[in-house]
Structure 1
Amino acid sequence: MDVLPDSLRTHRVRASSDSALAVRSVSRGRVAWEPVRSLWFTAMALGASIGGALTFSLSALVLFVASTATVLLLGHSLGMHRKLIHDSYDCPKWLEYLLVYCGVQVGLAGPLGLVRAHDLRDYAQRLPHCHDFLAHRQPFLIDAWWQLHCELRLQNPPPIAIEARIADDAFYRFLQRTWMLQHLPWALLFFALGGWGWVCWGVCARVTAGVFGHWLIGHFAHNQGDMHHEVRGAAVQGRNVRFASLLTMGESWHNNHHAFPGSARLGLYAGEWDPGWWTLRALERIGWVSRLRLPEDLPARPELHRLPEPAPAPCAFCQGLRARVLP
């Protein structure tokens, strides 16, 4: 019997300690069209593309950029991911609620649904094998259809035990029931201030960018990019998508995150820009966050191995100059 690594013993996903049985629980299933998810994304995309084109203005574009950056930074990166899912820092409950509420505005799911989806994928990717849906293993267009319009229906899905501080929280349960409706007050406010242009750009385009961008970076972060670390025995390795570090608020350092999931800092090495970490440090200075966890604060993982740094690519100009000078 192959035993699961110790890092999975405290995971929210509760499957068999036998890796073969655990693999079967996350690899046997079918991908099916999910109408609510599909229609939600399609409606937002149509509102962004058609409505946005018909109502474009500079103020609407500024609103789109500002609102998208805000919800991605404060909501998805700091609220949903680094706090709610991984609890990588401490903060007052009012701030946690505010950040998670901003995360709902990204348009992916409610807080409980996002925790379940993240943890199932995270657990499955650490096993020796998992379903292609969970691994982003299919070609680009098929993966896009699956992730944006479908859901994975496992034959025997493993139980996911979300801790009481999240699962029993009245505010989080309310957001889970109403996460789509939470965009309506902002749509009404934007309509009152700027008309349909602000609705199309401040709500539809923002949600479209958040949902589509989340899939797009996820696809590349599991298929292309450099690696500092390898998780031995894992079905999927995370990749660092360097060009997207600012656009994703540091979330694209996905190889670093696979290596140290509980770290509040994702850009760990020189030149790895991490706006989420910069914001956490600023909040720490004013006393709003504390106990920022770093890789050295996390339990050791025997399956984690540091890879040698690749040699720098040779300079084409220098090579050409050397060929002219040397006989």
Structure 2
Amino acid sequence: MMKPVMRIEDTGANPCDGQPVIDWPKAIWNGGLLAIAVVGGPLVFTWSAFGLFVVLTYLTLLIGHSVGMHRMLIHRAFQCGKPMERFLIYVGTIVGVAGPMGIIKVHDMRDWAQRQTRCHDFFAHRRGLLRDLSWQLFYRFRFDRPPMLTIEPRIASDPFYRFLEATWRWQQVPLAVFLFLIGGWPWVVWGVAVRVIVSTAGHWTITYFCHNPGAGRWTVKGAYVQASDLPGLGLLTYGECWHNDHHAFPESARIGLEPGQIDPGWVVIRGLERAGLVWNVGRPRDPGLREDLQERIAL
């Protein structure tokens, strides 16, 4: 297995000690997009703008967020050349959730907290959906004593990734100009504001249900939060809904591991592998050699 992209040293940190506090840049960004989407979306609606929204949302989340940010950047489930890597991470940045360093920190901090014996509801998603969604869209968690985070130099010192991290919100501007030239304000509102807020809120909604009790084959011993699968949502969620499998085998580029578990992200990665554009594609480790896994049920 490759080394993780970020190292977390708890230094006495406790994922229960602290509280959610409003994150003003995040709140203004997501709140502003939400207001534009709710007010402006219906006012400028056209079917072409809606079609653009559907296609662009699906492709950016599939290629950039699921394949690029999640499976490649965070979990290093496959390797590729630098141009392909940067393309995938750029598309992931266009999704509008965070920049490359930000997405690593959000994911790995949550994963670290969930794998402790107990963590705050902010990380465990144990409150109601609306409360949890408001936390994830408008708040950050302020630790009483935060853990120390270190992102590997290959990522942290890369000038392109540093540029994306510093300007990730502004990366919507070139896209907005391009869409305006083709389809006017309807394409801008639906292709940027509606797409970004739906992508962000949709991401956290799926995250919420995937980290509450539900279907799944595996239990990760000692972890406070056990992930769940969401049957029937494989196509809609790019395969990310098979989250119980993912928590059990985070090194695997394929998340839908059981028969019938549709995984579009894996389809993309497998196609790139066959074309010789990616390699060292991760597969699940032998569960028989894993002391931290316990099988819940026989499928």
Tell me if the contact between 1:262 and 1:298 (Cα under 8 Å) persists in the aligned partners. Answer: no
Q: Matched residues in 1 for 2:295 and 2:150: separation?
A: 31
Amino acid of the residue matched to residue 233 of structure 1? G
Q: Which has the higher strand share?
A: 2
* 2:211 alignment partner, one of 193, 215, 222: 222
Q: Which residue in 1 is equivalent to 2:151? A: 162
TM-score calculated relative to the size of structure 2:
0.95
Q: Matched residues in 1 for 2:76 and 2:297: separation?
A: 30
| Alignment of 1:129 onto 2:118 | yes
Amino acid of the residue matched to residue 194 of structure 2? A
* 2:276 alignment partner, one of 287, 310, 325: 287
Q: How does 1:82-93 map to 2 (within 5 A)?
A: 82-93=71-82
Moved over 6 A (4+): 8-11
Per-residue CA shift, 1:10-58, capped at 9, x if unaligned? 9621125xxxx4xx52221111111111111111112222211011111
Q: Matched residues in 1 for 2:100 and 2:287: separation?
A: 24
Deviation at 1:299, TM superposition (A): 10
* 2:258 alignment partner, one of 247, 269, 277: 269
Q: Matched residues in 2 for 1:55 and 1:264: separation?
A: 40
Q: Matched residues in 2 for 1:65 and 1:298: separation?
A: 38
Relative to 1, partners in 2 of residues 1:260 and 1:100: Cα closer, same or farther, differing over 3 Å? Answer: same
Q: Matched residues in 2 for 1:225 and 1:146: separation?
A: 22
Tell me if the contact between 2:129 and 2:205 (Cα under 8 Å) persists in the aligned partners. Answer: no
Tell me if the contact between 1:71 and 1:103 (Cα under 8 Å) persists in the aligned partners. Answer: yes
Identify unmatched segments of 5+ residues in structure 1. 1-7, 311-327
Q: Matched residues in 2 for 1:201 and 1:107: separation?
A: 14
Could you say what secondary structure the match of 1:27 adopts?
A: coil
How many residues end up aligned between the 2 structures? Answer: 297
Structure number with greater Rg is 1
Identify unmatched segments of 5+ residues in structure 2. none
Amino acid of the residue matched to residue 164 of structure 2? L
Q: How does 1:168-247 map to 2 (within 5 A)?
A: 168-247=157-236
Per-residue CA shift, 1:171-223, capped at 9, x if unaligned? 11100000000000011111111111000110011101110001100110011
Q: Which residue in 2 is equivalent to 1:4? A: none
Larger deviation, residues 67-76 vs 288-297? 288-297
Tell me if the contact between 1:11 and 1:123 (Cα under 8 Å) persists in the aligned partners. Answer: no
Q: How does 1:30-179 map to 2 (within 5 A)?
A: 30-179=19-168
Q: Matched residues in 2 for 1:9 and 1:187: separation?
A: 35
Deviation at 1:62, TM superposition (A): 1.2
Larger deviation, residues 213-222 vs 238-247? 238-247
Q: Matched residues in 1 for 2:269 and 2:29: separation?
A: 32
Tell me if the contact between 1:225 and 1:242 (Cα under 8 Å) persists in the aligned partners. Answer: no
Tell me if the contact between 1:228 and 1:308 (Cα under 8 Å) persists in the aligned partners. Answer: yes
Q: Matched residues in 1 for 2:30 and 2:106: separation?
A: 17
How many percent identity over aligned positions?
A: 45
* 2:241 alignment partner, one of 221, 240, 252: 252
Tell me if the contact between 2:6 and 2:151 (Cα under 8 Å) persists in the aligned partners. Answer: no
